[in-house]
Amino acid sequence: MLYLLLSIICSVLVGVIFKVARRYNISITQIVTCNYAFALLLCYLFFEPNIADVTSSAPWSLYTTLMVLLPTILLVMILSIKYMGIVKTDAAQRLSLFIPIIAAWFIFHEAFNDLKLIGLLIGLPALLLILYKKADKSGNKWLYPALVLLGFGIVDVLFKQVALYTEIPYTTSLFLVFGGSLVIAVIYTLYAIIFKHHKVKIINLAFGILVGIFNFGNILFYMKAHKAFAENPSTVFAGMNMGVIVLGSFVGVVAFKEKLSKINYLGIFLALVAIVFITLSQLNN
């Protein structure tokens, strides 16, 4: 249970770092680049990937797509936290679990039981209620958390496909994807420096290292939690998704004074109910 708790904390801390970073004159592209550089280093040290295992028959189309998507969706997540807050962004990220479920239904023709269908039917209005915000002069930036949900959902589907390719260890595939993501992030950063005249600053390096540590920590502890609960993966699934929503909501409201309406709170409650039904559906498979 300790590994699961640490994974939840690491996930929420990434959002906290971005929330704090916005108070400074930062470059989000530089932070994302430093994040992947440090995460790549930690991946090499902890997982000891063997690049010799990688051949031309590896799922390069999946790797390449993930290399582009990961840094891109991280940039979108930063904007979502900036405009919509930690609470709504974390909830959108966790509700992205519905994307691979829907993909399993329509693409892979997986049989659905009643509990999973109920979870999906509750999840959609939950998302709409979470993202609801009265119109104001600044407008409702609901598009950002919506893209977070869609992006992380697609990433989840792609990583599941990578995991099916057993000829290469999953951790080696992860190392390759991080390496490619670093290259894409560097391109984003060079563009910002050359064409938008962003200056290279130490503070971006500092925030990037922190994000890299906790991003990697989230992955590492999540994998260890699954290993510890090998006979009951639904515990990890439910604990992670519900834990991030609850802790993220608590931190957003208490620490950063994010304002939520009664409608938003109802959406968060329904999101937790939806996750419970999805988890129960897995137990009954």
The whole-number pLDDT of residue 284 equals 66
Residue 114 CB neighbours (<10 A):
10
| 90, 249 Cβ separation under 8 angstroms | yes
Its sign, for the CA torsion 6, 8, 14, 20, is negative
Count CA within 13 A, CB hemisphere, residue 259: 3
In sequence order, the 6+-apart residues with CB closer than 8 A to the CB of 23 are none
* Amino acid type, 284: N
Enumerate the domain spans of the chain.
Answer: 2-283
Its sign, for the CA torsion 238, 240, 241, 247, is positive
Q: pTM of the full predicted structure?
A: 0.88
pLDDT in tens, 48-79: 999 988 988 899 999 999 999 999 999 999 99
What's the average pLDDT block by block, 10 residues per block, for the chain (285 residues)? 93 94 91 96 94 90 97 95 92 88 76 85 89 64 91 92 90 96 97 93 95 96 88 81 93 93 94 90 72
Its sign, for the CA torsion 73, 165, 60, 107, is negative
The whole-number pLDDT of residue 70 equals 96
